[in-house]
C-alpha cells in the first residue's frame, strides 16, 4: 500500500519538475487504473520527463496487477444496504477485532468512501485500490447508547450506510424507527465500541455523532484498504470466494 502512495508522490514530483522546466509544453492527461496524473507532452527536452513518468506508471500497474482472490457474485453499491457495503462493514468488524484484540460491537463505514464496485470473477489488488482509494486508517471509539441512537438517526437521514454488528429500521423519509445491537435494542445507558475510519471518526460525511466518541484509538499505519486486502487473501488461502448479499440489516418500513 505504501509503495503505491510513494510512487504517486514520485510521479507528482516528476510532473512538477517538468512544468517548471518546460512551462510552454501542452499538457496531456495520463492515467493508470483510477490514478490520474497530469503530465506534459514530450516534445524536445521533456522526453526525459515522459520516460520517467512512464516508468512510474508501469510500476504502479505492476503493484495493482496481482490477483488476490475471487468474487463469487458481483458486489454492487446502493442504499440503504448493498452487497459491497455489507462486505466492507463485515470485513472491517472482523479485522478490527483481530488488530485491536478488543471486543468491538459495531463497524461503520460510508458508501461515499467506496469508490467503485467489485465484479464477479478474479479480484486484483487494483480492484480493491479502486474501491478503497482513500488513505483512510482504522479508528476505534466508544459511544454511549444515546450517542449511538443519534448516529443511527444520521445514518437514516442520509439513506443508509455500511454497518455491521447491528440492525436498524428506518422510514423512506429518512427517519429512524429502531436499532438493535446483536439481538438487543440499544440501551441508552450502555456503551458500545465502534470500528470506523479516521475520517468518519472526526464526524465527517454527516455522521457527526462519531465525533463524540471517547477512548479513541487511531491506527495511523493501518489503512482500511490494508484490512480489506488481508481479509480477501485469507479467504483465498482457505479456498473460499468473496461473497456478500443484502440481509435486511437496514430495513425501510412505512
**Within a 10 A sphere around the Cβ of 31, how many other Cβ atoms?**
10
- State the pairing for strand pair 121-124/162-164: unpaired
Q: Distance between CA atoms of 77 and 86, rounded to whole angstroms?
A: 9
Question: Which grid cell sits at 54?
Answer: 512512464
One digit per residue, the tens of pLDDT, for the chain of length 254 reads 455 565 566 556 555 655 555 555 555 555 555 555 555 555 555 666 666 666 555 666 666 679 999 999 999 999 999 999 999 999 999 999 999 999 999 999 999 999 999 999 999 999 999 999 999 999 999 999 999 999 999 999 999 999 999 999 999 999 999 999 999 999 999 999 999 999 999 999 999 999 999 999 999 999 999 999 999 999 999 999 999 999 999 999 98
Q: Tell me if the pTM is above 0.85.
A: no
Partner residues linked to 180 by β-bridges: 167, 185
Phi, psi torsion values for 151, nearest 5 degrees = -60, -45
**In which element (H, E) is residue 56 found?**
helix 47-64
Q: Within 13 A of 31's CA, how many CA atoms are on the CB side?
A: 6
Cis peptide before 80 (omega within 30 of 0): yes
Residues 6+ apart with CB under 8 A from 157: 174, 206
State the pLDDT at residue 254: 83
Q: Would you state the pLDDT for residue 58?
A: 63
The whole-angstrom separation of Cα 92 and Cα 166 is: 14
Maximal CA-CA distance, the chain: 70
pLDDT at residue 1 in the model:
47
Give domain limits for the chain. 2-65, 68-252
Q: Which residues contact 158 (CB under 8 A, 6 or more apart)?
A: 174, 205, 206
The pLDDT, as a whole number, for residue 46 is: 64
Q: Is the separation of the CB atoms in 14 and 56 below 8 Å? A: yes
Residue 60: closest CA among 116, 91, 14: 14
How far is it, in rounded angstroms, from Cα 64 to Cα 125? Answer: 5
- What are residue 36's DSSP bridge partners? 31
What DSSP state is assigned to residue 103?
-
CATH 3.40.50.300 fits 68-252, yes or no: no
Amino acid at each position: 500500500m505504501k509503495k503505491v502512495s510513494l510512487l504517486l508522490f514520485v510521479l507528482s514530483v516528476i510532473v512538477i519538475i517538468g512544468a517548471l522546466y518546460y512551462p510552454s509544453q501542452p499538457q496531456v492527461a495520463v492515467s493508470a487504473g483510477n490514478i490520474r496524473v497530469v503530465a506534459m507532452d514530450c516534445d524536445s527536452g521533456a522526453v526525459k520527463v515522459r520516460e520517467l513518468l512512464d516508468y512510474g506508471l508501469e510500476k504502479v500497474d505492476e503493484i495493482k496487477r496481482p490477483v488476490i482472490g475471487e468474487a463469487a457474485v458481483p458486489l454492487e453499491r446502493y442504499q440503504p444496504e448493498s452487497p459491497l457495503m455489507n462486505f466492507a462493514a463485515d470485513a472491517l468488524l472482523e479485522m478490527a477485532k483481530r488488530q485491536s484484540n478488543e471486543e468491538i460491537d459495531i463497524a461503520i463505514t460510508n458508501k461515499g468512501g467506496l469508490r467503485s464496485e467489485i465484479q464477479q470473477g478474479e479480484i486484483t489488488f487494483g480492484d480493491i485500490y479502486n474501491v478503497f482509494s482513500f488513505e483512510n486508517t482504522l479508528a476505534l471509539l466508544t459511544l454511549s447508547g444515546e450517542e449511538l441512537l443519534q448516529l443511527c438517526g444520521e445514518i437514516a437521514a442520509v439513506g443508509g450506510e455500511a454497518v455491521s454488528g447491528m440492525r436498524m429500521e428506518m422510514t423512506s423519509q429518512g427517519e429512524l424507527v429502531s436499532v438493535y445491537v446483536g439481538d438487543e435494542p440499544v440501551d441508552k445507558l450502555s456503551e458500545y465500541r465502534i470500528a470506523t475510519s479516521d475520517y468518519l471518526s472526526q464526524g465527517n460525511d454527516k455522521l457527526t455523532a462519531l465525533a463524540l466518541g471517547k477512548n479513541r484509538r487511531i491506527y495511523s499505519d493501518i489503512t482500511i484498504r490494508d484490512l480489506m486486502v488481508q481479509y480477501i487473501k485469507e479467504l483465498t488461502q482457505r479456498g473460499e470466494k468473496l461473497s456478500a448479499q443484502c440481509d435486511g440489516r437496514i430495513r425501510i418500513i412505512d
